[in-house]
């Protein structure tokens, strides 16, 4: 089971069952659907490292997802 922590939002923690590794984009779609939220731009972090949408996610991974905020 993958744990997705939506940081800086009210969505909180969502768990997604996996049978095999899947790209982060797929996991985020499933997690956002379960949380009832729409995702815009995000930054995803696994074990302290930023990861991209095509990164394979494995069972037992913990992913922290932050909204991408820009400013100047």
pLDDT digits 0-9 by tens, 50-71: 999 999 999 999 999 999 887 6
If one counts the domains in the chain, the total is 1
Instruction: Identify the CATH number of the domain in which residue 46 sits.
Output: 3.10.20.30
Taking the C-alpha atoms of residue 34 and residue 50, their distance in angstroms, rounded to an integer, is: 23
Taking the C-alpha atoms of residue 69 and residue 55, their distance in angstroms, rounded to an integer, is: 21
Encoding tokens for residue 40?
A: 């815009």
Any domain includes 72: no
pLDDT digits 0-9 by tens, 4-38: 999 988 889 999 999 999 999 999 999 999 999 99
DSSP state of 62: E
Range of the domain at 28: 2-67
């Amino acid at each position: 089971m993958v744990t997705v922590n939506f940081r800086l939002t009210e969505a909180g923690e969502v768990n997604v069952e996996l049978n095999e590794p899947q790209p982060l984009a797929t996991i985020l779609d499933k997690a956002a659907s379960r949380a009832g939220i729409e995702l815009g731009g995000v930054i995803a972090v696994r074990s302290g490292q930023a990861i991209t949408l095509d990164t394979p996610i494995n069972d037992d991974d913990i992913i922290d997802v932050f909204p991408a905020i820009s400013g100047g």
